[in-house]
A and B are shown apart, each in its own frame.
Chain A
Amino acid sequence: MSALAHVGSASAAPTPGAADETAKRGRFLPYLLLLPGGLWLIIFFVVPLVQLFTVSLQSRFPEYPGYYYRDVNVKNYWSALTEFAPHFGRSLLFAGLATFFAFCLAYPLAYAMAFKAGRWRGLMMICVIAPFFTSFILRTIAWRQILADEGPIARIANALHLLPNGHITETWIAVVAGLTYNFLPFMVLPIYASLERADPRVIEAGGDLYANGFTTFRTVTLPMSMPGVLAGTLLTFIPAAGDYVNAELLGSDRSTKMVGNVIESQFFKVPDGYPTAAALSFTLMALILGMVFLYARKFGTEDLL
C-alpha cells in the first residue's frame, strides 16, 4: 500500500515521460515479486485446502464402496465429531500438557543460556539444535528404549510403586514425554531469543527500584520475555496437537490415540474413510485457529506480537 502511494506521488515529477516509465515499473514490481510465493501458496495450499473441504462434504454411494459423489453432507462432520470426540480431547490435552512441560523445562534452560552460560552458551545452543540432525522418527523410537520396562526410568518408577500397571510405554505418560521432547527446541529458541535481546540494564533497574530477585523476575524479566513465550507455546502446541507419530510409536492401541492417528487410519486404512478424515482435519484446523486467535488476543499485545 505505502509503496504504491509513494510511487503515485513520484509520477507527478516534473519530467513526465521518464517518471511515468519508472512509476509503471515501480507499480508492478511489488506484485511481480509476490508472484512466485503467491503461486506456490495457491497451488500447494489453497487448492488442496478447497479440495479437502469438498471431500469432507462428499457422500458415498451405498452400493459401491469406495465411490463418492459431490454433496454438501454436513453429517460427515457430525458423525466424525461424535465418534472421535475423545481423540480430540486427548489431542488438546496431550498437546497442552506437552506445551506446559516444555515451557517448564525450556524457560530455565533459555534463562541460563541467556544470562549465566558465559562461554558455554555456544555449546548449549548446539546441544539444543543437535537433535535436528537425526530423524524425528528415530529419536522417537529411541524413547521406547529409554522408557522401556527394563530401562532405568521404568525400573526406578516401579521400585517406588509409581506406576499402576508397571509400564511407561503404551501409556499417556510416554506420549506426553515424547511430545515434550520432540518440540522442546521450538520452545527454547524463541524464549532464548527474547531473553537474549533484553537489555540487562532493564533487569538491573528492577533491582534498583526495590524489587528483589524473584519480584524482578515476575514483574520485569518474565513480561519482557512474553513474546518469546508466546511464540514458543504456539510453535509447540500447534504441531503437537496435530502429531500422530508419538502416539503411534510410544502410545497404546486404544487409550492414547490422538486425532492425528484417527485421520491417518481413516485416510489410509479404513475403507470409505476419506470424508471422515477430511472432516476431522478441517475441524482440527478450525479448532486450533480459534484457540490460537483467542490466546494471542489474551497474551500478546500488539507491540509484543
Chain B
Amino acid sequence: MAKGGFREAKGDLRIEDVTKSFGDFTAVDDLTLVVPRGSFFALLGPSGCGKTTTLRMVAGLEQPTRGRILIGDTDLTGSRPYERPVNTVFQSYALFPHLTVRDNVAFGPKRRGEKDAQRLADEALNLVQLPHLASRKPTQLSGGQQQRVAVARALVNRPEVLLLDEPLGALDLKLRRQMQVELKRIQTEVGLTFIHVTHDQEEAMTMADTVAVMNLGRIEQMGPPAQMYDLPSTAFVANFVGQSNLGQGRITGRDGDFVVVDVNGSTVKIPSARCAVTSGEVLFGIRPEKVHLARSSDIDAAIRDRKVAFGDDMRATVLDVSFIGVATQYLVRVPSGATWSVYEQNLDVDPIDLKPGDPVWLEWDPAHAFGVAADGTPIPGITPAPGQDAP
C-alpha cells in the first residue's frame, strides 16, 4: 500500500459501458468510447452533461458505478489515481502553492523515484517556454503562465493519457487562442493521447482530431470536427456545434437523390444521404453561412435566374443587421415564426442597405441542407440566436 502499485499500461483508452450515478442523478449513462492512442480527443458538451465526470473517472478521482475503464488491455477500474499512467491538467490549475514552479513540475517524477527529476522538470518547462520562471512560486505567475506550468507538471510524467479539464476556461480570449495553438503543438510534439474537456465548441473544433458531443450523460455524436459541423446527426448537435437554422417540417416525397420537405408551406429539399429520417416529421437544418439574402424588390428575371442556380428559397423579413467586419450577420424572421441567422461575407465594399422590416428572399443550395429527427432533445425554441451555442 505504501509503495503504491503503479501500473504500466499502453494502448488505446477504452471506456466500456460506464455509468456513474450520484444518488438519483445519473451523470454518465452507459458510455462506451474508444480513444485511439496518440490522438487529440475533445469531449464537448454543456455544463452538467457528464464530461468532467467522465474525465475524473479516467483519472481515478471518481469510480464508475458500473462498467470498465481500460488502457490497452490493462483494466484500471477500481485503481487509485496514483496507480494510473494518467495525469490531469485541472481547470483551476491546482498548482501546489508552497512549492516553486520547478518543484511543482518535479513532483510527479520524484514520487515515481526518478533520479533526475529536476532535469526532467527543466525540460518540461522548456517545452512550455517557461524555463526563466522555474524558481518562482505559483502565486507570482499570471493565469496563462500558471496554466503552462500545470501542463508541464502533467506532461513531465509522459502519461499514457493526458486529461485536460477545461484548461483554458479562465484565460481571456486572446490568450486562449494562443494556448489552443500551443497545446496542439505540444501534443503533436510529444505524441501522447490528449483528452480535452470543454464546453467551447470552437475550442474543441480548433484543437481536436475527434470531437465527441455529450449531452445528458450520453454521447450524441462523435467524429472529426469538419464532418460533425457539416452533418450534425441530432438537433442538439446541430445547435451546440456552431449555429443552425432549423425548421420543423414533414417529408412529402422524393425527388431523385433528395427528399422533399414541407416547412410551414415552403417546399425545401434535403439530400437523402444527409437526412436522418425517411418519412414523417423531420427537422430541416441549414447553416447560417450557407444561406444567402436576396432583396425582395429585386425579384426580377435576373434574380430569378440566380435563384434557380442556388436551388431552394424562402421568404423572410429582416429583424436585425449586425456588421461584424469580415461578415455581416442578419437575423431574419421566416414564415414559421422562427428566427434564422444569415452570414454574408463582406466581399465587396457595398454599403449595407437592408434595414429591419425589409422583406427578403433566403436562398441556399439544397446540397447543404440536412435533416435530423424532430423528436429527441428539445432545442431551445428552434430559434438559434447568437451566443446560444456556448451556454
- Seen from chain A, the residues whose Cβ lies within 8 Å of a Cβ on chain B are 199, 201-202, 204-212, 214-215, 219-220, 223-224, 226, 301, 303-304
Contacts and interface: CB of A to CB of B under 8 A. Distances in A.
A38 B176 CA distance: 50
B96 interface: yes
A152 B88 CA distance: 53
18 contacts: A199-B94, A201-B94, A202-B96, A204-B61, A204-B94, A205-B96, A206-B96, A207-B60, A210-B112, A210-B157, A212-B2, A212-B4, A212-B82, A215-B111, A223-B96, A224-B97, A226-B98, A303-B137
A213 B31 CA distance: 29
A208 B97 contact: no
Given A199-B92, A204-B94, A210 B111 contact: yes
A205 B94 CA distance: 7
Nearest to B137: A303
Contacts of B4: 210-212, 215
A211 B96 contact: no
A224 B97 CA distance: 7
Interface in B32-73: 59-61
Given A214-B2, A303-B137, A208 B59 contact: yes
5 A-B pairs with the lowest CB-CB distances in the bound complex, closest first: A210-B111, A209-B108, A201-B94, A207-B81, A205-B94
Nearest to B86: A208
Chain A interface helix/strand/loop/mixed = helix
A237 B96 CA distance: 29
B219 interface: no
B98 A304 contact: yes
B323 interface: no
Interface size class of B (residues with CB under 8 A): 20 to 34
Interface string B1-44: 11010100000000000000000000000000000000000000
Interface in B83-112: 86-88, 90-92, 94-99, 107-108, 111-112
A208 B111 contact: no
B97 A212 contact: no
A109 B103 CA distance: 30
A208 B139 contact: no
Contacts of A206: 96, 107
A247 to B, nearest CB: 38
B250 interface: no
B112 A205 contact: no
A214 B140 CA distance: 28
Nearest to B3: A212
A204 B157 CA distance: 16
B96 A224 contact: yes
Contacts of B61: 204, 207-208
A193 B187 CA distance: 40
Contact of A208 (B87, B95, B112): B87
A199 to B, nearest CB: 6
Interface centre among A199, A209, A214 (most CB of B within 10 A): A209
B111 A209 contact: yes
Interface in B136-176: 137, 139, 153-154, 157
Contacts of A220: 96
B80 interface: yes
Contacts of B139: 303
Contacts of A199: 92, 94
Given A209-B157, A210-B108, A201 B90 contact: yes
A209 B80 contact: no
A201 B167 CA distance: 13
B246 to A, nearest CB: 39
A303 B141 CA distance: 14
Given A207-B61, A207-B81, A303-B139, A212 B94 contact: no
Interface in B110-130: 111-112
Contacts of B108: 209-210
Contacts of A214: 2
Contacts of A211: 4, 82, 107, 111
Given A208-B82, A210-B108, A224 B98 contact: yes
Contacts of B111: 209-211, 215
Given A204-B61, A303-B137, A303-B139, A209 B87 contact: yes
A304 B96 CA distance: 13
A209 B98 contact: no
Contact of A207 (B1, B2, B80, B99): B80
Contacts of A304: 98
A207 B6 CA distance: 12
A271 to B, nearest CB: 55
B56 to A, nearest CB: 9
Contact of B81 (A201, A204, A219): A204
Contacts of A202: 94-97
Contacts of B88: 204-205, 208
A215 to B, nearest CB: 7
B376 to A, nearest CB: 35
B156 to A, nearest CB: 9
B165 to A, nearest CB: 9
Interface centre among A201, A204, A210, A220 (most CB of B within 10 A): A210
B96 A212 contact: no
Interface in B154-205: 154, 157
Given A201-B92, A214-B2, A215-B111, A208 B98 contact: no
A210 B96 contact: no
Contacts of B60: 207-208
Nearest to A200: B94
